[in-house]
Amino acid sequence: MDKPQFGATVTWLGVVMRVSVIQMSPRADKAENIAQAEALIIRALAADRADIVALPEIWTCLGGTRSGKFAAAETLPAPGSGETGGPAYEFLRRMAIEQKIFLHGGSIGELAGEKLYNTTLVFSPEGRELARYRKIHLFDITTPDGQGYKESNTYGGGDAVVSFEAGGLKIGLAICYDVRFPELFLGLRRRNVDLIILPAAFTLQTGKDHWEVLLRARAIETQCYVAAPACTGSYTEGNGETRFTYGHALIADPWGHVVAKASDGPGFASAAIDTEFLGQVRANMPVLEHRKLA
């Protein structure tokens, strides 16, 4: 099949859609993180003028104490209520309106009663909340260097598969550790999504071996574009332990090629979403129709 030139603007049905994934180095200071996110969004738009911009996982507060995470979390307005949200919520809404973009807010800490959730928010160019997704799979593991992670000590898990539409694209949502559970991605594919956005704060230890491999695998098996904004650099936990995130924010196409990737440090990467190529991949290899066991 003839493969289009990725990174170039692709027009289909009169609609031009580009996506930028942001790579941040957040820490525990929420105000500083919001300022960093704003600067990177503006830089990315000045360079590539994407229609969809996506931030990384839990970018408002990475590291710090458990109490600090609760303090940085926000109680979210009821969808469609028109109520005012917290600083991060209103920042995301404002940026979507001012920059006239679909803004995928990575994920932030959502305070719901006595629980926290790792939650994605998406806003339209008019500032309307389009989607809300709570991370389903919680990161309770030990990395090869012996560091233990227990996300469930702080966060509750979601239970809903979520997708939405933006500018003619159907988009599915996942977060970080979700990438290891292909059944979620099969659920999104069955919703006929074109693009899956997966923000992450992948650890350095797991990321160097698994990050790109898993993202490419999810793109290949779902025959979707996969866009993965990421955290990079170090942060400090409440106990004084320094931890490192892998970065390498990237976009993979439905054939599994990485068509854009961020360099080291804070930055961004951008690519076009070509639905004609996506349709060719699915027509030539209709794996969803061929499934036997699920």
Q: Any idea which residues carry the catalytic annotation?
A: 57, 135, 176
Rounded distance, CA 63 to CA 78, Å? 28
User: What are the Cα distances from residue 40, in Å, to 56, 142, 261?
Assistant: 12, 32, 15
Contact 94, 124 (CB under 8 A): no
Rounded (10°) CA dihedral 276, 133, 155, 202: 10
3-class DSSP state of 235: strand
Distance from C-alpha of 58 to C-alpha of 72, rounded to nearest angstrom:
10
CA distances to 21, 27, 28, 118 from 270, in Å: 6, 24, 27, 25
For Cα atoms 251, 246, 68, give the angle at the middle one, nearest 5 degrees.
Answer: 110
* Whole-angstrom distance, CA of residue 170 vs CA of residue 153: 33
Helices (H), 84-163: 87-99
Q: Coil, helix or strand for 279?
A: helix
Three-state secondary structure call for residue 264 = coil
Selection from 176, 243, 245 nearest residue 214 by Cα: 176
